[in-house]
Structure 1
């Protein structure tokens, strides 16, 4: 099981976390879109992780 490090809530379903889209940019040699996001606990709002998702243009 995975737990939130802040409140201890058990994270078992996709609805237990929320994905917050921070920014989208098109750049680079291949002009691909990059989306920056933060994953937060839906119980207390603490940031659990972050990342970059890419896609073709």
Structure 2
């Protein structure tokens, strides 16, 4: 008998469809806050958008 069991993971899995430039675009364009403030990467992109095309 082949039984399938679900294993609960402690850590979330990354989205496997995001890779290369897609992952970079997603990671730098998401509004994420760190310790109550915007991440430095997000602020840099807002200040210097021409550097992050």
TM-score scaled to structure 1, two decimals? 0.21
Specify which structure has the higher proportion of helix: 2
TM-score scaled to structure 2, two decimals? 0.22
Q: Rg: which structure is higher?
A: 2
With CA pairs under 8 Å and 6+ residues apart, which has the higher RCO, 1 or 2?
1
Specify which structure has the higher proportion of strand: 1
